[in-house]
Chain A
Amino acid sequence: MHLRDDLLHREVATGAIQDFPDPEPGLGEPIATIAEQFGQFSLNGHTEILLVANDSQQGLGWRMHAPDGFLTAGTAVATGAISVGTVSVALKQAKEQMSEKMVPLAGITAAFVFAAQMFNFPVAAGTTGHLLGGALAAILLGPHIGALVVTVVVVVQALAFADGGLTALGYNVLNMAIIPAYGGFAVYSGFRKLLPKSKGGVVAATGLAAGISVVLSAAAFSIQWLFGASAPVPFDTVFGAMVGVHILIGIGEGLISALTVGAVLASRPDLVFGARDLHPAQLQESGKVPLRAFIIGGLAVTLLVATVVSQFAVNNPDGLDFVAEDTGFISSAEEHSLGDSIFADYATSGINNEALSLAIAGTAGVLITLAVGYGLFRAIRPRKRVPV
């Protein structure tokens, strides 16, 4: 052991001496926060069940941590092998990128990602969602370190918090760490080529990539379901439901990730891995394009995904329809009043090509949903709030 005086001086100057060895955080509040998020109980003697779903702060607490036995053993092993392989590649690449400095740095940013999953943001009318953070970590730290960091988060959540099964780690790591990090970063790089080389371009590309990364992991989960379903629910239904729900989640994820990267760019642009190609001067010009480009781009992507997804919603009645059909109460159900509308049953009448007509129906569905959503938003948008 040799002490390095130069660094010791610098450390005193920067105040790091308070940060090492261990910090002594207060025992109360932070622990309660962590516990609340995971539905455990508080320290003060009496047990107190805090259901994730019941937590008013949590609202749309959508967690994708699948438990044991959710996919077949073969799928667990196969995805496990893919995850281990990818993580070892990530390890090698990350080492080249940052040397041993990455360990404390990556560890503390892993704590950030963990905490970021506790960031509840409002979705609508008082419900909240929270960040998944895979793409955000990849854009801030680079895909390799990003993937490593989120992998560690997912593994610790499974081991220590019983959040996701131990034998499910193969697919949980793949879906929640590797695919959002690498997939999200690939999408990000793609959009960066299309968008202006400016701060606005970085922010918009982050938003789109983060949103799409969530949809990608939902799609990946559905594909794994195709290979290793543990339940007799058809692929189409799982794909449609998972991707459908995650388009909505992706909008929040994209917006929050974009704004977060924007905030980091404002104070420490050098810390954004995905913006390293930009000169300080390019970071200055924020560009007026982004918001509109962002919305138009987001809309285009949503439409594209909806067109693809609609192909899977084919002739498969959704869960409730299915039950209804089987229990025989569908015969007692009246024809829907919109039964004659041109989009009834998702296929456009009058167009013979089934795929095309589904695509049109899907697109129209998105547009109508957006229009209705916007209308609702305008109608019930809170006017000036009176302080309570």
Chain B
Amino acid sequence: MGAGHAHTLYVHEHSLVHRLPPETKVLSAFLFVAVVAITPREAIWAFGAYAAMEAALVGFSRVPVRFVLSRLIAVAPFVVFALFLPFIGAGKNIDLLGFSLSSEGTWAMWNILAKATLGATASILLAATTEVPEIVRGFGRLRIPPVITGIASFMIRYLEVIAGELARMRTAMTARGYDPRWLSQARPIAASAGTLFVRSYERGERVYDAMLSRGYNGVMPALDTRSATTREWLGALALPLLAAAVALIAVTTL
């Protein structure tokens, strides 16, 4: 797997979290984020508890904190939207530093900020402790149709090849003085998109032929047939279970 290891998303470590089978981690991440999403926003302490769980997981998996924080920047555009909510939300009744803020809007901002950050951190941790092809394998073990996992694994495998081709085209254009300012000058971009599509498709046809000649019959052979043990499932599901307990307390005490 030449391309598989070259990841900006994966942190190479040897922690327990890294070693868990991918399907347990994928399911655990989904369940955890789902619990976070249904927690009522008024239960502020519950979100603190979730954050603490994620922080513990970061420490446990030895993923650098800076790594997680810098990747969190990716959710920034929606955070900006959320920051506007106290101002544009309906119904104003809080006065803060001379501004009149909507309490509904402020709650909504908190809701989106908290859930988006916790959700993104969960995805970041999943990708940091599980290589992307492994995530796809986990999906397969969770009974996602092989066609979908197949498409995903080919996509991941060839993404860097195609992106590299794109980067070379761009370099070539720039080297020849291509510096468009207006949409009307975008024709070369579209032409290279078209070329890239044809090249990708033809590569796909060649790969398919190559695979057929090696005995491909529509299903990729599984190399790792070991399934997760009960202990591993329990270990991975401890996170969403703990979160669910917190959510339950939050709902009942509210």
Contacts and interface: CB of A to CB of B under 8 A. Distances in A.
Contacts of B74: 38-40, 52, 161-163
Contacts of B157: 22-23, 107
Sort chain B's interface into a size bin.
35 or more
A166 B158 contact: no
B217 A100 contact: yes
A359 B76 CA distance: 36
Contact of B201 (A3, A41, A271, A381): A271
A282 B103 CA distance: 62
B113 to A, nearest CB: 9
B8 A41 contact: yes
B164 A30 contact: yes
A1 B215 contact: yes
Interface in A1-39: 1-5, 7-8, 10-11, 14-17, 19-20, 22-27, 29-31, 33-35, 38-39
A122 B92 contact: no
Nearest to B34: A167
A286 interface: no
Contacts, number: 400
B108 A67 contact: no
Contact of A162 (B71, B99, B109, B210): B71
Contact of B2 (A22, A101, A271): A22
Contacts of B166: 33, 115, 118-119
B207 interface: yes
A110 B156 CA distance: 9
A188 interface: no
A162 B123 contact: yes
Interface in B150-196: 150-167, 177, 179-183, 185-187, 189-191, 193-196
A234 B153 CA distance: 41
B132 A112 contact: no
A51 interface: yes
B1 A69 contact: no
Interface stretch (B53-61, B114-122, B228-236): B114-122
B147 A91 contact: yes
Contact of B115 (A31, A33, A68, A263): A68
Contacts of B124: 162
Interface of A: 1-5, 7-8, 10-11, 14-17, 19-20, 22-27, 29-31, 33-35, 38-43, 47, 49, 51-53, 61, 63, 66-70, 73, 76, 87-88, 91, 94-95, 99-112, 114-116, 118-126, 131, 140, 148-149, 151-153, 155-156, 158-163, 165-168, 230-234, 237, 251-252, 255-256, 258-264, 266-268, 271, 319, 322-323, 326-327, 377, 381-382, 385, 387
23 contacts: A1-B214, A19-B203, A19-B206, A40-B74, A68-B33, A70-B116, A104-B204, A104-B208, A106-B151, A107-B204, A109-B197, A109-B204, A111-B163, A112-B197, A112-B201, A115-B163, A166-B119, A167-B30, A230-B112, A255-B186, A326-B92, A381-B182, A385-B179
Interface of B: 1-4, 6-9, 26, 29-30, 33-34, 36-38, 66-67, 70-78, 82, 84-85, 87-92, 99-100, 102, 104-105, 108-109, 111-112, 114-116, 118-120, 122-124, 126-127, 132, 135, 145, 147-148, 150-167, 177, 179-183, 185-187, 189-191, 193-198, 200-218
